[in-house]
Amino acid sequence: MRTVYALLVGIDDYPGRPLRGCVNDVRAAESRLRSLSGPATRIRTLYDAEATRAAVLAGLEEHLGQSGPEDTALLWFSGHGSQSPTADPGEATGWSQALVCHDSLVPGGQPVLRDTELGALLDGIAARGTHVVAVLDCCHSGGATREDAAGPPGAAVRGAPWQPWWQTAAVAGARDGGGTQVPEPGRHVLLAACRPQELAHENVVDGRVRGYFSHALLGALDRLGPTAAYGELHALTEARVRALSQVQHPELRGPEDGGFLSGDPVPASPFLLRHTAWGWEVNCGAAHGLRSPGAEFTLLGDAGARAVVVREVRPESALVDPVGWQPTDQERQSAHAVTPSALAFPPAAVTLSGETAAVRLVAKAVTEVPALALAPEGPAPLPSATGVREGLPLPSAHGAADALRLRVEVGDGRARVSGGAGHALPELPLRTPADAARVADCLAHIARWHQIRDLVNPDPLLSSLVRITVEETAVGSLRHSAVGEVVCGYTPDGREPQVRVGIHNHAGRHLWAVLLDLTDRYGSSPHLFEGEFIGDGRVGWARRGEPVWLRLPPGRSAVRGAFTRDWLKVIVAEDELNIAPFRLPAWSPGAPSGARGSVAPAGGGGLLRLVAAGAGGGRDAGGPAYGAGRWGTAQLVVRTEV
C-alpha cells in the first residue's frame, strides 16, 4: 500500500528578514495531509529555527529517503528563495535558484540549498520508483531569476538577496562515456509559486497571512478532491493566484495527467476550461494551431453537450463565451475538460480507392471524425524526401493541415494508408465497422502529427530570432545534406551517435521554449526540453547539456543503409504554453491513440479527441485571422543512419 512521506518546511523567523505566512501555509498543508483517508502518511515538520540546512538535508536523505517503489515523497517548502548568476550551461537563464534555510541568513552562516543540489536529491529518490513532488512557495521557485517585480499593495515578498558566504562547489552530474543510451532517470514533479524571473508574495487572505500560492493550491485541492490531476490542479491554482497578484504566475513541471500525490495516470483532456479574472478561458491558443474566433469547444462528460465559442485568440489561450447555458457559481470554481468540436483545427483531406463496399465502410468512419474530410476524386501528392509536400505552399498555422492529403487503398480485407511524411505504416485489417474506425483513428493521428509539425506563425518576428543547432560529439559523425537535413551516422563499430542540441535565443528578451521531438513513427514528445525560460543571448540545452543519443526505433535493424528521421521543433512564446496537446504517442496498430470516442487514454499523449458539433451547431470558425504576435517556431530535420 502506498505511503506518503512528507517533509514540510515553514520558516517565518529569518534573522533580519522575517516573514509572516510561511508557518501558516505549512500547518495548513500538514492538516490537509493528516486528513487523507487513503494512503498512510509519515510527516516530518521543520518550523523556523528547526529548519537548518543540516536538518533539511537530513529530512530529504533520511526521511524522504525511506520511501520506496509505489510510495510518494513530498517536499513542501514555504520561505525565502534566492538566486545568483551562473555559468552552468544547464541553466538556460544564466541564473541559479536556491532555497534559503534558517541558518543561511546569519552572517557567515550555512550555504543555501541550490537547485542543482536539491534536484539531484529529489531525482535520486524518484529513480527508485517513488513518486516525488516538490511544492515550493518562495521567490524564483520556478527556476532561476532575472528581475524583480512589485507585488500588490501590502504584499511581502519571499526572497532574499544573495549573500557572499553562500558560494558552494558546483554539484557534478554523472556522465556516461559509453556508446549506449543511459535510461532516463526518474524525475520529480514541481509545483512552483512563480516563474523563474518572478517573486512570490504573501498577504492577508481570508483573515490570515498566507502565501498566495499555498492558499490557492490548498483551496484547489479542496474543490477538486484527492483524485485531482496535476494539470487541472495547476489550472485552478494559477487562475486564483493571477487574480490576487497579476505579477506572479505559478508553474507546473511534470505530467499534466498524473494524479496528485500518486502520479497514477488520470484520463484527462489536453484542454481545460476555467474561469479567470478575464472571463472564461481555454488553455488552447494560436501557438497550438487555433486559427480564429468562432471556433467551438464542447465540455466532455456532459450529457447536455454544452459548448463555448472563441471570441479572442491569444498566443497561449483563448477567451470564450458559453453558448446557450449559464454557468453556476460552483462551475466557476472548477476546471472543465473540453475538446474542439467545430473547426478549431482544419481537417485533413482523405482520398479513398479500391473495393466499393470497403470504401463505403471507411468513408462512413471518416465522416464521423471532424479532424478528417473526404477529398474529391483525384491523385494526392506524395511527400518529398524532406517531408515537405511537393507542389504545395509552405505550411502556416492557418493552412498547414488544409494542404495535407492522405490516401487509403482498400481491398482483400486490408487497408493501406499513405501520404504522410513519416515512415511507411503497416497494413490494417478491414472487415468490420470497428476495423474502419481504427483506420479513421490512424488517419486522425497522422493529421494531428502534421498539425504539430507544420505549426508556423505567419508573423516571422520571433521565429527569425530563434534557432536550433545540433553539435557533434566524439561519438558518431555529423554532416549536412543538400536538402538541409542534419545527418548523424553510427560509428563503424555500431555505436549510436551522440549530439548536443541547443536552442538559441536572440530575441532581446527572455523567452519560454519547448523542444518537440517529432519522429517518423508519428510520435511527438517534449522530453528533451520540457518548457523553460531561456535568457536573452543564451542557449537552452536539451537534457541540460547531456548528450542526446540518436538511434533507430525498435523493430528497425541497424544494418547498413537503415535510417530514421526526427523533426526537432522549438515553439517559443513570451508566456508559458500548455504542452499537453504536443504529446503524441508513436502510432501503433495495437494501441488506441485517443483520436476517437473518448478522452485520450491515461499516459497516451496529447492527441485530441474530436467530437461532432452539438445539435444546433453549424458555427464554422470564421471572422478575421487571429492576431500574430508573441510566439514563434524553428525546426530542424535530423536523419540518423547506419
- Domain boundaries defined on the chain: 3-167+182-266, 279-342, 348-453, 463-606+620-641
- Residues of the chain short of pLDDT 70, as ranges, are 142-186, 302-304, 343, 377-403, 591-629
pLDDT for position 156: 67
Q: By the 8 A CB rule, do 205 and 212 touch?
A: yes
DSSP lists the bridge partners of residue 98 as: 82, 114
pLDDT for position 473: 95
* Residue that has been written with the C-alpha cell 538556460 in this structure: 92
pLDDT per residue as tens digits for the range 165-210: 565 433 333 323 333 333 345 689 999 999 877 889 999 999 999 9
Q: How does DSSP assign 17-78, residue by residue?
A: S--SSHHHHHHHHHHHHHT-SSSEEEEEEEEGGG--HHHHHHIIIIIGGG--TT-EEEEEEE
pLDDT per residue as tens digits for the range 428-459: 999 999 999 999 999 999 999 999 999 998 88
Angle ∠(241,579,421) on CA atoms, nearest 5:
165
Q: How does DSSP assign 315-370, residue by residue?
A: SS-EEEEEES----HHHHTS-EEEEEEESSSPPEEEEEEE-HHHHHHHHHHHHT-T
Is 3-167+182-266 a CATH 3.40.50.1460 domain? yes
pLDDT for position 153: 61
pLDDT for position 343: 61
What rounded mean pLDDT belongs to the chain? 83
pLDDT for position 233: 94
- 348-453 belongs to which CATH class? alpha beta
Cell of residue 310, nine digits: 472563441
pLDDT for position 1: 78
Strands 131-137 and 72-78, bridge-based pairing: parallel
pLDDT for position 589: 82
Domain 3-167+182-266 and domain 348-453 have a common topology: yes
Residue 144 CB neighbours (<10 A): 24
In which region does residue 542 sit, left (phi positive, over 0), alpha (psi from -120 to 50) or beta (all else)? beta
d(CA 392, CA 143): 43
How many Å is the Cα radius of gyration of the chain? 25
